[in-house]
Amino acid sequence: MTGLLNVCTVALTLSIAATQAAAWSDHRFPSYRTFERMQEVAQAASIKAEPLATFLKAEEASIEKLLARQAAWSEANLDFYPALPAELVFRADASRSDDARKKAFLMALRMAPNAPFALYFQPDARKPRPNKKPLPHSAVNTLPVAASVAFSYFPLDAGEAIDVLSVLATATEEPDNGLDIKLWEDSPSDWGKAMGLGSLPFGNPSLPYSSQAPFHMGFYHESPLIYKAAEFVRHTFPLMRHHQLATLSTLAFRTGHPYWGWRFAGMSLHYLQDLTQPFHASLSPGSSAVKMIGINVLAMAGLPKWKEDMVILLSNRHLVLEYFQAGWLLRNAIQQRDTSVEISLRSMERDASYPAWGENYVRDVVSAQAAAQGASAVKSLLQAMPENYVNNPQFDYGPQADKIALNDEVDRGASAESRQRIESEISNLLGNFGAHSRNAIRGILKASVKP
Ligand SMILES: [Zn+2]
């Protein structure tokens, strides 16, 4: 069965290496729509921006206890959890510098210790641009990407008032800004070896996006055959990240730091939101384990073509879904118009139809649902998208992605019925994104009530 391991490795390697758009692109857009009519967020009183150093210094004794409980939770609840190295355990120490405390905190969470945690916000693209000079990209984001026009980070002063919706929506994007890069033993970083997480389970260790992927994807609903053959498929951490940040949020709310309550809450949502994307919740949407194994058997018998084709098609479909979604939401925001996707994000109709919020909700409800929707998503892509982009293994979409005006092409090429099919597929997926995000916030707020 090592051959199967191979097919998974290769599929993931290429699919992720090519993926510059990290799951739903720019979580801020859908998050503003998700929460703009949720009373607990939209009607909440303004809060004051607080530097991370102030929160950490004031609460380090309770943080020490919480981080120990988090490690015990991960140990008990995750299929794969390498223990935290003893030297990374967070211990309160009032005498150290703010920088040393921040570094100790991030290392104990096994997050990139150079993550800036600046005070900033990203405005709703539907609102007028703030009358402030934006921060440079590098003040917020450590990923080596050029600042694009869609990314604008505006500074907040310590103590400056800001509305809860902006803090929450901005924070849902933050984990894609470099928090989870180069954390592995084979990562080109000063801290990877110390983390104790082992080697990158799939992908290319030298690419930052590859190194963050196992924190933003989780394959919890594959056939037992797959886990048996390719154990590394379990080496992912979105559930750990969600739990770490959601419980930090609760701690911050309970101890009177609402800014960090909302910011950590938004950061925790990112991981849940990524798992509503079928290509982040299953290894190969639309293909059965039997097919993957069959293709690999053929490759081992000297017929690698089907395997190579599958790898490219998987990567292309993943990217096309995300680029189309991102382009569509951006266009709607610029034109200030509501389409089915904005209505679906905002609608609270399905929130109560899901099981009660609980510790396993992200795995058992959110990612199970996305994994089950993979086949339908692939069908809609095949129907609506230009054939070349989603069904031609000779064409590699990734390197061309920035040159392709995908939404315009679909407008020109697809029938109204096909365009509607992909729009309703994405509206449905983002309807789940909205409902699960609100349910998660209700869970955090309930847990944050002081006993
Ligand atoms: Zn992500």
Ligand 1 centroid, distance to 301 Cα (angstroms) = 37
| The predicted structure's pLDDT at residue 16 | 44
| The predicted structure's pLDDT at residue 209 | 82
Ligand 1 centroid, distance to 176 Cα (angstroms) = 5
Ligand 1 centroid, distance to 177 Cα (angstroms) = 9
| The predicted structure's pLDDT at residue 117 | 98
| The predicted structure's pLDDT at residue 164 | 98
Ligand 1 centroid, distance to 173 Cα (angstroms) = 8
Ligand 1 centroid, distance to 274 Cα (angstroms) = 6
Ligand 1 centroid, distance to 270 Cα (angstroms) = 6
Ligand 1 centroid, distance to 96 Cα (angstroms) = 33
Ligand 1 centroid, distance to 271 Cα (angstroms) = 6
Ligand 1 centroid, distance to 436 Cα (angstroms) = 16
Ligand 1 centroid, distance to 326 Cα (angstroms) = 14
| Extents of the domains making up the chain | 2-447
Ligand 1 centroid, distance to 376 Cα (angstroms) = 22
| The predicted structure's pLDDT at residue 227 | 85
| The predicted structure's pLDDT at residue 147 | 52
Ligand 1 centroid, distance to 175 Cα (angstroms) = 6
| The predicted structure's pLDDT at residue 10 | 44
Ligand 1 centroid, distance to 236 Cα (angstroms) = 13
Ligand 1 centroid, distance to 23 Cα (angstroms) = 5
- Name the pTM for this structure: 0.92
pLDDT means over runs of 10, the chain (451 residues): 43 43 76 97 98 98 98 96 97 98 98 98 91 91 68 92 98 95 95 96 84 93 85 93 98 98 98 95 82 74 78 88 91 92 97 94 97 94 93 89 88 83 95 98 94 66
| The predicted structure's pLDDT at residue 360 | 93
Contacts of 356 (CB under 8 A, 6+ apart): none
Ligand 1 centroid, distance to 211 Cα (angstroms) = 12
Ligand 1 centroid, distance to 202 Cα (angstroms) = 16
Ligand 1 centroid, distance to 180 Cα (angstroms) = 9
Ligand 1 centroid, distance to 27 Cα (angstroms) = 8
Ligand 1 centroid, distance to 451 Cα (angstroms) = 34
Ligand 1 centroid, distance to 216 Cα (angstroms) = 5
Ligand 1 centroid, distance to 22 Cα (angstroms) = 5
| The predicted structure's pLDDT at residue 122 | 94
Nearest residue to 231 via CA among 82, 80, 77, 14: 80
